[in-house]
Amino acid sequence: MSNIFEYAPAPESRAVVDIKPSYGLFINGEFVDGHGTSFKTVNPATEEVLAEVAEANDADVDEAVKAARRAYTRVWSRMSGAERAKYLYRIARIIQERGRELAVLESIDNGKPIKESRDVDIPVVAAHFFYYAGWADKLEHSGYGSTPLGVAGQVIPWNFPLLMLAWKIAPALACGNTVVLKPAETTPLTALLFAEICQQADLPPGVVNIVTGAGDTGRAIVSHPDVDKVAFTGSTEVGKAIARAVAGTEKKVTLELGGKAANIVFDDAPLDQAIEGIVNGIFFNQGHVCCAGSRLLVQESVADEVMERLKRRMATLRVGDPLDKNTDVGAINSAEQLAKIRELSDIGEAEGAERWSTPCELPTNGYWFAPTVFTGVSQAHRIAREEIFGPVLSVLTFRTPSEAVEKANNTPFGLSAGVWTDKGSRILSMANRLRAGVVWANTFNKFDPTSPFGGYKESGYGREGGRHGLEAYLKGADS
C-alpha cells in the first residue's frame, strides 16, 4: 500500500549546484591537493558518486594548523571586534543569497528533505552568523572576557553538516579565534562550498581552514600540539576518546554528544499538537538528531488514543526523494548508519517489543528505513537505552509525573526532553526535575541562535548558541 495521500512529484532542480568531480583541501585561503589519498562522497538517496574528495593526512593537518596560527597571530586576533563583525555579516548575507544552492547541495549529499534544508538548516545557519556577528564588538559585555584562545580544531558529524559548521565557526571567529574544521566523511560538500563563500567574502587567508577526511584526520586535528581549543560534535564513544586524548594538555574542550530524549505526553495535553510534536521529534531529519525525542513517555490513560492517532499520522508521512518538495522523510545518510538502525530495531523485536512500520513504498536504490514505532518497550530494552539515530520511536507509559521524571532521567544521556501538558505549573516543575540541557514545552526541536544548547552526563559538556556559546572560545573574565 502506498501513502494514503498521493502527490505529483515536485522535485527541486539540481541545476543551481555545480558539483566538481574532485575537491582539494581548503588551507590558507586556497584549495590545495593535499598529500594523502582521497575518498568518494555519495548521494545516499541514489548511491550516485558525487565527487572525489581529498583525505587530509597528518602533514596536511599540520599545514592547516600552521596557516591558522599565522592568521591568528598576524591578522585576526589583532583586528577589532567591529572589523571581524563585518566579515561575519558578509558571510551571513552570502549564505542567504546562495541559500537555495546550499540547501540543494545539503540535501543531495546528506539525504535530508529539501523542505528541511531549505526552511530549517540554511536559515538557521545564516541566523547563527548574524547573531555572533553582533557579539564580535561587544565581547567585554559577555561576562567571559574578550581574549580569544587561539587556534580552534573542530570536528563535526553528518546529520546537520552546514548547521554544525555554523555552530562551531561563527562563535570561534566572533571571539577572534582561527579555525581548522573537519566535516564528516559522508557530507563534505557544503563545508567545501562554505570555503568558497569565505573566499567570496574576502576572509583573510588562514582564518578558516577546511580539511576533509575521516576519523584519522579528526584524530590528527584534536591531538595536534598547536591547537588551543577542541570542539567536537559526534558520538559519545568518540567524545570519550577525545577527552582521553586531550587530558593533561592545556587544550580547552567542548563535547556535544549523543542523546536519548524523553518526549513526555500528559493526559491533559492538546493531543493533536502533541502528535505533531512526537512526529517532528523523531522523524525530523530521519531521526538523525542528537536531541531526537526517541523515547515517547505517554500517560497510561491516553496511551491507546495517542498510539492510534500517531499511527494514522505516521501513515501520511511521505518517504522518498529528498529533493522532492513534498517529501517528509528522506534517505538514511549512509549504508553503515542504515545497518546500525536495522540491527538495533531487530534487537528491539527480539527483546519482545512490538514493531510497527508505516506502509510506505521505499525506493529501490539508496538507503531507506520506513518510520517505525515500538510499543511494549521496557526500560531495560536496548532500544530504550541506546541511541538509534534513525526514524525509530520507542513508546513507554507512565501513571504519575514522578514516574515520568524517573523514567525520563533513567538514561546515561541528558541532552533534551519534551513536555506536553495544559498546565504551566507542571511544565515548570517537570523542567526543574528533568536532567536535560534543553526542555521544550508543547513544542520540540526548536532551535534559535540566541538559546544555548548542550548536555548533561554522557551527552557532553559545554554550551553552543547564545551568550553562553561564547565561553567556549574566550579565555575567561579574569585573564
Q: Which residues participate in catalysis according to the annotation? A: 256, 290
Q: Is the dihedral of CA 300, 302, 304, 306 positive or negative?
A: negative
127 touches 448 (CB < 8 A): yes
Task: Kindly indicate which of the ranges 40-48, 124-132, 176-184, 274-282 contains the residues binding Mg ion, using the contact rule CB under 5 A.
Answer: 40-48
Q: Rounded to an integer, what distance in angstroms lies between the CA atom of residue 371 and that of residue 251?
A: 41
Q: Is the dihedral of CA 264, 270, 275, 281 positive or negative?
A: negative
Q: Compute the least distance from the CB of residue 469 to ligand NAP, in Å.
A: 12
Q: Which does 41 bind (CB under 5 to 8 A by kind): Mg ion, ligand NAP, none?
A: Mg ion
- C-alpha cell, 307: 498510539
Q: Compute the least distance from the CB of residue 257 to ligand NAP, in Å.
A: 5
Q: Which does 321 bind (CB under 5 to 8 A by kind): ligand NAP, Mg ion, none?
A: none
Instruction: State in Å, rounded, how far the first CA of the chain is from the last one.
Output: 65
C-alpha distance from residue 294 to each of 259, 288, 383 (Å): 9, 10, 9
Nearer to ligand NAP, 124 or 184 (CB): 184
List, in sequence order, every residue forming a beta bridge with 438; answer none if it has no partner: 416
Nearer to Mg ion, 109 or 256 (CB): 109
If you write DSSP's letter for every residue of 384-434 in order, what string do you get? Answer: HHS---SSEEEEEEESSHHHHHHHHH-SS--SEEEEE-S-HHHHHHHHHH-
Q: Rounded to an integer, what distance in angstroms lies between the CA atom of residue 36 and that of residue 217?
A: 10
Task: Kindly indicate which of the ranges 181-189, 322-330, 342-350, 368-376 contains the residues binding Mg ion, using the contact rule CB under 5 A.
Answer: 181-189
Q: Which of 3, 41, 263, 416 binds Mg ion (CB under 5 A)?
A: 41
Q: Compute the least distance from the CB of residue 283 to ligand NAP, in Å.
A: 16
Q: Which of 3, 117, 159, 186 binds Mg ion (CB under 5 A)?
A: 186
Residue numbers 99-138 binding Mg ion by CB under 5 A: 109
Residue type at 184 in one-letter notation:
A
Q: Which does 55 bind (CB under 5 to 8 A by kind): ligand NAP, Mg ion, none?
A: none
* Chain residue whose CB lies nearest ligand NAP: 218
Q: x/- site string to Mg ion, residues 221 to 240, per CB under 5 A? A: --------------------
Nearer to Mg ion, 55 or 464 (CB): 55
List, in sequence order, every residue forming a beta bridge with 355; answer none if it has no partner: 374
Nearer to ligand NAP, 241 or 307 (CB): 241
Helix ranges, 10-137 (H): 58-71, 81-97, 99-110, 114-116, 122-135
Binding site for ligand NAP (CB under 6 A): 155-159, 182, 184-185, 214-215, 218-219, 222, 233-235, 238, 241-242, 256-259, 290, 387, 389, 415, 455, 460
Q: Which does 158 bind (CB under 5 to 8 A by kind): Mg ion, ligand NAP, none?
A: ligand NAP
- C-alpha cell, 168: 562551531
Q: Compute the least distance from the CB of residue 5 to ligand NAP, in Å.
A: 31
C-alpha distance from residue 45 to each of 170, 189, 329 (Å): 30, 16, 11
Beta-strand pair 392-398/372-375? parallel
Q: Rounded to an integer, what distance in angstroms lies between the CA atom of residue 448 and that of residue 469?
A: 12
Q: Compute the least distance from the CB of residue 332 to Mg ion, in Å.
A: 11
Residue numbers 7-36 binding Mg ion by CB under 5 A: none
Nearer to ligand NAP, 241 or 344 (CB): 241
Q: x/- site string to Mg ion, residues 282 to 311, per CB under 5 A? A: ------------------------------
C-alpha distance from residue 255 to each of 246, 373, 401, 450, 454 (Å): 12, 30, 31, 19, 9
Q: Which does 259 bind (CB under 5 to 8 A by kind): ligand NAP, Mg ion, none?
A: ligand NAP
Nearer to ligand NAP, 156 or 201 (CB): 156
Q: Compute the least distance from the CB of residue 110 to Mg ion, in Å.
A: 6
Q: Which does 109 bind (CB under 5 to 8 A by kind): ligand NAP, Mg ion, none?
A: Mg ion
The separation between CA 168 and the C-alpha centre of its own chain, rounded to angstroms, equals 11
Q: Compute the least distance from the CB of residue 47 to Mg ion, in Å.
A: 10
Nearer to ligand NAP, 280 or 299 (CB): 280
Task: Kindly indicate which of the ranges 120-128, 179-187, 259-267, 421-429 contains the residues binding Mg ion, using the contact rule CB under 5 A.
Answer: 179-187
Size (the chain), residues: 479
Q: Compute the least distance from the CB of residue 300 to Mg ion, in Å.
A: 43
Q: Which does 214 bind (CB under 5 to 8 A by kind): ligand NAP, Mg ion, none?
A: ligand NAP
* Closest alpha carbon to 456 in 257, 289, 264, 293: 257
Nearer to ligand NAP, 32 or 243 (CB): 243
- C-alpha cell, 264: 513526555
Question: Burial level of 58, CB count in 10 A (0-12/13-18/19+)?
Answer: middle
